[in-house]
Amino acid sequence: HVLGSAQIAVEHRGMRIVASGDYKRQKDDTCQTFEPIPCDIFITEATFGLPVFRHPPDTEEIARLLKSAAQFPERSHLIGAYALGKAQRVMRLLRDCGYDRPIYIHGALAKLSEYYQRQGIDLGQLDPATVDSAGKDDFAGAIVVGPPAAFADRWARRFP
């Protein structure tokens, strides 16, 4: 479900056991496609496995974000996304939907995002969302991505 994810298959006496962490079945340009492996036993994490979890199509959500950014150019649009995988997926989806402006990122996302870029995942121009060295107005109309924990911090309260 993120760049570098893996699953393992163990075979012993004709039985195959496959273990995997999170995975996704939909297309995602930031990681390899999940490959189902025939097995006798499949061990997996199923955080969102219940039928109650029906996430809307990602392109529709990005379209809503871009529409809001266009309608409210005086406002920053803050997106909470985990530093590994989710943030890079949001950035790539923004690029796929035609967003070509800089995306401002919290420092916690920088190294992992740089790694994704080095691995050939084009996230476009990423700039630091450092409010200490910039005025609030510098982020008007900007899309800012940060880890969910940062939104409880004073960092997030400094954006218009």
At 134 the pLDDT is 60
Rounded distance between C-alpha atoms, residue 39 and residue 62, angstroms: 36
Give Cα 148 to chain centroid, integer Å. Answer: 12
Provide mean pLDDT across the span 94-116: 96
pLDDT level of residue 133 (50, 70, 90 thresholds) = low
Residue 65 has pLDDT above 90, yes or no: yes
| pLDDT at 118 (0 to 100) | 96
Q: What is the pLDDT of residue 128?
A: 93
pLDDT at 130: 82
* Average pLDDT of the chain to the nearest whole number: 90
pLDDT (tens digit per residue) in 18-42: 999 888 888 899 988 888 999 999 9
Task: Assess contact for 23 and 141: CB atoms under 8 A.
Answer: no
Of 100 and 25, the one with more pLDDT = 100
Under a CB-based contact definition with an 8 Å cutoff, are residues 18 and 40 in contact? no
Tell me the two tokens of residue 83.
Answer: 């530093």
Please report, rounded to a whole number, the percentage of residues in the chain having pLDDT higher than 70. 96
pLDDT band at 67 (very low <50, low <70, confident <90, very high): very high
